[in-house]
Structure 1
């Protein structure tokens, strides 16, 4: 059993040495290497748990591929649980407890013990709940909320509103400077674990410890890390965390997000959205609010049952998978892709902006190119799907559960073909 995931562990794929774009691999050997790496991949069989085709899909960092079990599960939910059992399904089919039950299925992927993750609402709503609650729980006269200066825009918008609501000022700080920036005025810090543009992995243990030393609380956005690499929420004493489930967790478009509240903080978690679902006795319909115990305190309104149960089914793909093996393959895939780009793309045509150091890299590679939007459209037309972020970034997300080394090679070869002779 894997301590981190609670599932049978697989043998991790051994990552290659970090690629050096200045020292390209031999193009003639790349196909053979991809074949050997795929043959040795301990996660190769997991690909069969997804609905895939001949397209090279490298956009799982925006929307994960469809797990094969989701469609039949949803047909049963709609036809039988909703169509036949109707209202009885809240109890007989376990609808009412699904937010906590599915949260406990996600928890091992976050390095969290059961009873600390609840699923529901969007990431933005959970950011709002977490930041406001963090400020309310901070000890002493603190009036500052630090926010990752390169944060996904919504996080910044929500944090600014939460700061105004709680009488705080917002202070944008580069994530690399967050630890040094925390001080006696810091009530809370909101940080992205992985930068959505560049794929840079930030120092969760170090930043958390530094903010705690300054007396503040930390909220981590795990949208671009959960399901792609170990997080270690309990191990590193994280206070609160949020994340979406439609990227590396493959929950589907609009799948509900999750909220982690460290067990020791749950009795003090004062949600700014005290909905009837988080009431201690929701069906008593009391006029006054009394918060539920445990992770249910993070609920607000009626759960999004159809999308929540689609996510529940999607999580089946993690059976027997160790997140450490996922991380090892992620690093090996991204290393290999960088080598292929260096060997097959015209020199100087793209600039890698994702860190080469494994300790600083998430599970995506970002390449800078002035006409990145045109290039990505051309790649998609040729069966390689990544995405583009203005003004000049090509993003390629590597989902180890279904991405092959042959896919990395084909993507780089197609990119080289698109850029050949384009200047």
Structure 2
């Protein structure tokens, strides 16, 4: 209709800005505005902080798992040997490894001898998991060749053993010291099985970044592991690395129904008794738990943002109530319902936009400098309570709090906050627009 102003005209912004700057004597609206702004800021900040830590945990977990463990493990089905003992050993491991290496997408195949035994250093003992592996194959393990921290020389691996950082700390050994390895399955005598013991020089200490790996992992030269564990001429399993770890899937993929699947091809190349175990099989339950936790945390934080935006509704309801006379006058002067609605919508939306902006800034700063922030918090906690710190790697299996700031998480937080803000603002703004000017001015 001719004469109607364009939506969100300049005068609508001027009126809204005047209302946002209302003094305490005019109903305390400015106080409610500040409360709403702070509430939205803190809610968005908390949402981004949680999302960044969540993404950091997942990325760090997957990175360490893929960097220190096999993507696919191939082993043999059990059978009874001539002595009646269950046997899974791989006799032609070199030929089997070569056949698996020919599968498209496979980048590395390493025969292993793997055992859980007792490690000793001085008067200290701990359970360790020995990986018998060749020097050439060990140098292709990402988290060993390029760890977070390391001591010693990996080139001397054939002269000793490489151990995790946690084992070194638990046993009190360093590079150059000797560590005793004890296996319960030693030589068989008329008196029974005698445990086998041998000491090895520690030539390399590594920290993968995951405490439960550094706490038990020991690498031993392949031929030495064969001799020590009575596996001469055999391997226990093949450790396979692929170009795309996500392509291996898990057992829910029904590999037998898809012979073109990369794991199905590995099994076919391995032989009739070959079985597989992927990194998703071993860590899939944890990843699914992380996904469920991620979804629940997002819902909980979304509720927090919704509660914060409800403060905007309270402030707008108070504003509409205090500005009833102004609304009546504006409507009498010819201001349409749409203009009144947009004025009060701008009041609420402006608070939400500013609060969201400040929240995004604070959340990004927290995600980027989370380690420095927790160092300060730990120091303060130590000064006042004497505790060792808020983050114990022995409990959480990680040395630090991981954080990964992703654009998608930031955009999700912004979209959620602005969407809720704009939605809840419509209700009080619509009530202001529907106010009867005669009723508003009756008692003025």
- Same fold per TM (> 0.5)? no
| TM-score w.r.t. length of structure 2 | 0.23
| TM-score w.r.t. length of structure 1 | 0.24
